[in-house]
Each structure stands twice: as structure tokens, then as C-alpha cells.
Amino acid sequence: MAMNPTLPSQGDVPTGQIIQVPPFNGLPVQVAAGDTWQSLAERHGMRSDLLFEVNGCPSALLDRVFIPGGNPSETTIASTALGYPLPAPATLVLSYGWQPHPQRDELVFNSGIAFSAEPGTEVTSAANGTVAFVGDYNGALMVVVNHRSGLQTRYGNLENVGVGVGDAVTQGSPLGNVTGNVATSFMYFEVRTNSNEGWIARDPGLYLAELELQR
């Protein structure tokens, strides 16, 4: 519907109607006067070269540009500011959204982000909530915390987890420690919101002010 605003909201699509089908999740945005590929990319938290390629490498900037990974309601969803899950702002080693695969010549969608973090670094809850899951995820432990207003945060690549399912936590409560060795150590983090389709991944940059400063 976002890609085809002239379609009827109910009933059958008219026979012969031409519709735009996006190659993956995303939304079209109107290009403002003075916009460039770089300014659009910075505004939506992605790389300008990827944005350029996704839109077909046009010779000139289009009037409307397709933004991968976007959601029409995403800017209104992020009304809850979250606390930083590490003791201090850390370098991002994995960004949210569509990124080039490190081995294959294709784009892949990252539903979360990863922070560079020393082994043993304490990971804390980003907001008050209730622990919904503790278990194995890609060979390490993950903690999932449900918060108010259908918000959820996920913390991966942990060890020494000190909470269990059903435990109430507050913002800043210790959840566990980063696992791994110095060369590969990181902390994985996701923000999701509840919907009729399940828990949908959101851009953590909409919730963590510290990430906005890194863009």
C-alpha cells in the first residue's frame, strides 16, 4: 500500500492496474530540494552507494527513492528512549538493515546491530521489563526482555547470565557478560515491536541516542 497509494484500501485490485512491487522490505520517500544520495543515506541510516545501487544506479537523483528496510510507521513507533546496554558507547561492527554479505555478492538484512566489546564486559537492560527468554543463540546465550507498549530488546553473545525467564529487571540491571576472545568479541543487540505478524525488528538507532551521534 505504501508503494501504491492509489490502490483501493479494500476490495479487489482493478484488472490491468500497474503496481510497484519492492524487491524487499522498504518504503518510497519523496526527495526534497537539495537532497543528495549522501544526505538521504545519512537520514535513513545506510550507505549512499547501497542506496544508489538499490535504486538502479540512475544518472540523476529520482523524485522518489526506495529506502530498504523502512516501514511507514517506524518514525512514529520510536517514542521510547532506551538506555545504552554497555558501560560506555562502543564501536559498531555490524549495522542494522541491508548490508553487503562479506562472502557472497548479495545484500543481506541485519535485524540487529553488534557492538565491539571486550570479553567479560557487563551487559545491562536498556529499560524496565520482564525477561521473556534465556537460551542458546548461535553458540552463545541470548537474553530477551519484554518492555511496556509492545517493545522488546534482545542481547546476544553472552555468558554468565544472571537472570531467568519471568524475572523483573529495571533499566541498568545486569543481564550477563560478553563472551568470546579479544579478537572476535562483540555484543549483539536488537529492538523489536509487537504486531499481528509477530515481533518485527526495528532500527536501534531510533531508540539509542548514542547511535545517532555515530552516524
Full-model pTM: 0.66
Residues 66 and 112 in one domain: no
Query: Do 49 and 104 reside in the same domain of the chain?
Result: no
Residue 23 has what pLDDT? 65
- 101 and 165 inside one domain: yes
What is the C-alpha separation between 55 and 44, in angstroms, rounded? 15
153-178 in b/e form (b: 16+ CB < 10 A) is bbbbbbeebebeeebebeeebebbbb
Task: Give, rounded to a whole angstrom, the gap between the first and last alpha carbons of the chain.
Answer: 30
Do 83 and 188 share a domain, yes or no? yes
> Is residue 50 located within the same domain as residue 153?
no
CA 202 to chain CA centroid, nearest Å: 4
pLDDT digits (tens, 9 = 90+) for 78-134: 456 799 999 999 999 988 887 777 777 777 888 999 999 999 999 999 999 999 999
What CATH number is given to the structural domain containing 180? Answer: 2.70.70.10
Domain end call among 70, 98, 123: 70
Assess whether 89 and 184 both reside in one domain.
yes
Please tell me whether residues 104 and 168 are part of one structural domain.
yes
Looking at residue 47, its pLDDT comes to 81
Look up cell 570479553; give the residue: 119
| Amino acid symbol at 58 | P
Same domain, 160 and 63: no
**pLDDT for 69:** 67
Decide which of 70, 94, 123 is a domain's last residue: 70
Distance from C-alpha of 31 to C-alpha of 39, rounded to nearest angstrom: 10
**What is the rounded CA–CA span in Å between residue 195 and residue 206?**
18
C-alpha cell at 29: 520517500
* Same domain for 203 and 138: yes
Together in a domain, 47 and 145: no
- Same structural domain for residues 37 and 55? yes
Confidence band for 75, pLDDT divided at 50, 70 and 90: very low
Number of domains in the chain: 2
Helices (H), the chain: 37-43, 48-54, 74-77, 209-214
Q: Give the residue numbers spanning the domain of 203.
A: 77-214
Residue 119 DSSP label: T
3-state secondary structure 194-212: EECCEEEEECHHHCCHHHH
Q: Give the pLDDT confidence score for residue 73 in this predicted structure.
A: 46
Domain endpoint, select from 41, 70, 99: 70
pLDDT for 114 equals 95
Report which secondary-structure segment, H or E, holds 64: strand 64-68
> Domain of 6: which CATH number?
3.10.350
Residue 80: its pLDDT value, please?
67
Task: Band the pLDDT of 27: cuts 50, 70, 90.
Answer: confident
- Whether 24 and 48 map to the same domain: the answer is yes
Return the C-alpha cell found at 92.
559498531
